[in-house]
Structure 1
Amino acid sequence: MPITIKMPITLKSYLNIQFDKPDMYLVSILNDKYVPWEFCMRMLMEVFHKNLEDAQAIAHEIVTNGEGFCGGYMLEIAETKAEFVETQAKKEGFTLTCLVEEV
């Protein structure tokens, strides 16, 4: 009968790779006092994927306080979402703008 010797095995990582967390950017919609509630709701739900309750709360902030926080994203995503909303607003005759700022 063969003899089996069990030895502890230590696996050592030879690659010490560290990944930096990507910088996050906040996207806010700024109200120009002419943007209708419906447009804000549509953008919040379609572009920022907010549910009805969250979209209503954010739209209320946009309409009453002039600014509503929509979410935090990596730079490229934040810029893309902001650009889409501004382009859509311009197509529909509104001067709404988005603010993208680093956290």
Structure 2
Amino acid sequence: MLRISTVLNSLKKNGIEVDRFNLTNAPMEFVNNKAVNDFINTKGVDELPITVLEGEILITGRYPSNEEFAKLLNIPISFLGEQEKGFKIIPQSSGGCGCSDENC
């Protein structure tokens, strides 16, 4: 979630508008978008998050990687911000926490 927030803030700073909605806080956004509403009615909310670009669902069940953001938006990856040195982002699917030898 921290990576996604950083990416979205970096995109905004570079003049690229991306909307992010939470089902709890903005349920009508999910209801009013036909593709999203149909998806939830078919697959359920356990398949969230979903990524929609120009009305088309492109990614389900996970957030896009930085490389996918850059490709989908046709932008240089540098628009997504720099990671701080010493900070490692572990994708959700890896199952790891980023700690070495179980020392956090």
The TM-score with structure 2 as length reference comes to 0.29
Greater helix share, 1 or 2?
A: 2
Higher strand share: 1
**More contact order relative to length (CA 8 Å, sep ≥ 6):** 1
What is the TM-score when the length of structure 1 is the normalising length?
0.29
Q: Indicate the structure (1 or 2) with the bigger Cα radius of gyration.
A: 1
